[in-house]
Amino acid sequence: MRITALYGSSRQHSNSEELANYVLEGISYEKLYLKDLNIVPIHDLRHDAQGFQYVEDDYDQIIQALLTSDIVLFATPIYWYSMSGIMKNVIDRLSHAIRDERFPQLKEQLQTTEAIVLAVGGDDPRIKGLPMIQQFHYIFNFLNMPFSSYIIGKANKPGDIALDALALTQATLLNKQLQARMTSK
């Protein structure tokens, strides 16, 4: 089973990255730091006569991860009650990617690629982060992508996620589930 973690924070060693580390402890996985990739925002040409055009950036790395992973973990801070801007760029570009003739198998592959969301915020995130989880649910539903679980953690300063006993308990449980699935494959 191949797992990829997409880290959507603008900060190295962010709380959302640390929460992902708890979830994936002892599990082999690929890491993609979105902040280190050049991902151009979408230029919506769905209704243009020529349609979407090829974009010279690093987005194909995201597509390759989606095409080759059994599970994709979306780890994002909660910024202004939603996902980070760099994570949103990745999601927005899916409109282009699912129409890209270079990846005819992408829509079909996404139907078997399991999505997990990890989000961390500081302003009552378990309540105020729920609309973002619902947004992810709608995105995955549109793509027919299985959305298996999410964890919302509470943290403000770097390292504060280690103080959120509920999020760490949920991360430990999810880790055990993933490890059991890894050994049964």
User: In this predicted structure, what is the pLDDT of residue 157?
Assistant: 94
- How would DSSP label each residue in 5-62? EEE--SSTT-HHHHHHHHHTTT---EEEEGGGS--PPP---TTSTT------SSHHHH
Average confidence score pLDDT of the chain:
93
Domain limits for position 160: 3-184
Q: How many separate domains does the chain show?
A: 1
**In CATH, what number is assigned to the domain containing residue 92?**
3.40.50.360
Residue 112 has pLDDT above 90, yes or no: yes
Return the percentage of the chain with pLDDT > 90, whole number: 83
Return the percentage of the chain with pLDDT > 70, whole number: 96
Kindly report, residue by residue over 39-96, the tens digit of the pLDDT. Answer: 987 777 666 767 667 778 899 999 999 999 999 999 999 999 999 999 999 999 898 8
Tokens of 139: 């995105």
